[in-house]
Structure 1
Amino acid sequence: MAAPAAQADGAADRDAIRKRLEDWTADFNAGRADRVCDLFAPDLRANYRGQPEKRFGTLCPALKDALADERLAYRYELDLHEILVDQDMAAVRLTWHLTVTDRASGTSEHSSDVGLDIFRRQPNGTWRIARFIAYGEPADD
């Protein structure tokens, strides 16, 4: 028996969002600065504990600057926990694991940020992050 259309559409939307996140991770890790901003909606609002709210115009240049920094190498790993879709909105629970390596010394620092991303389907059908909140987890000793 075929799945109801609403369930099939929800699965397709979840798959599209998962792919967007996986593609972003690959683009970021490959240093593709021209692609790292495409995941975010133009009206983005982003909150990270202890920092001022960021918008597209502040987050995007910061990501590009990080990738241009020749002293440090950045690498993200995605741990996707849940994707809930309701029509043109989706909530995504995830954890980003970041490794920052000093290219000269080879030393690395690791951090993990738990987050909730709110995706909104754009007029062209693309899913983009419109809001997110994140906070760092304590480092494992």
Structure 2
Amino acid sequence: TREEKEKKMVESDTPNKKKLQEQIDVQVARELEEEMARDAHRMNEQIARDAEIARIHAEEELHIMIDGLDTNNETVAKHLHEYQQFATELPIGRIIELISDLVKYQENYAKVLKYPTQQRKSLARKQKREFSTSVLRNQAG
């Protein structure tokens, strides 16, 4: 009868719809996985590029630091050589006077280096005055 035929058509249609939906789901899942894999690949490439750029910058900074140290070493060697030449030509009295000046300079320099730390500790007015006076006294000789 007609009702039985319609019932069979509806029943046979339902498995086809389920099968079609499953195929669509599988296809969508596959496409999503491929897209995620492409995104992950792009991110890994970007991370690799960023790491290479960071390495290049670090290497450049290192070269700059090494060049600076080389320059400092050359300057120190030059001054040491000049000092040795100078020291051999000076009388003992003058050497003692220069060493005394150097000691004063070093004391002054040490105080100047300590000053920013002391400022953070909020020196008392008297301590600030004493510091300023000692710096001026040392500069005057």
Choose between structure 1 and 2: higher strand proportion.
Answer: 1
Query: Going by fraction, where is helix more abundant, 1 or 2?
Result: 2
> TM-score when scaled to structure 2?
0.27
Asked which structure has the greater CA Rg, the reply is 2
TM-score, structure 1 as length reference: 0.27
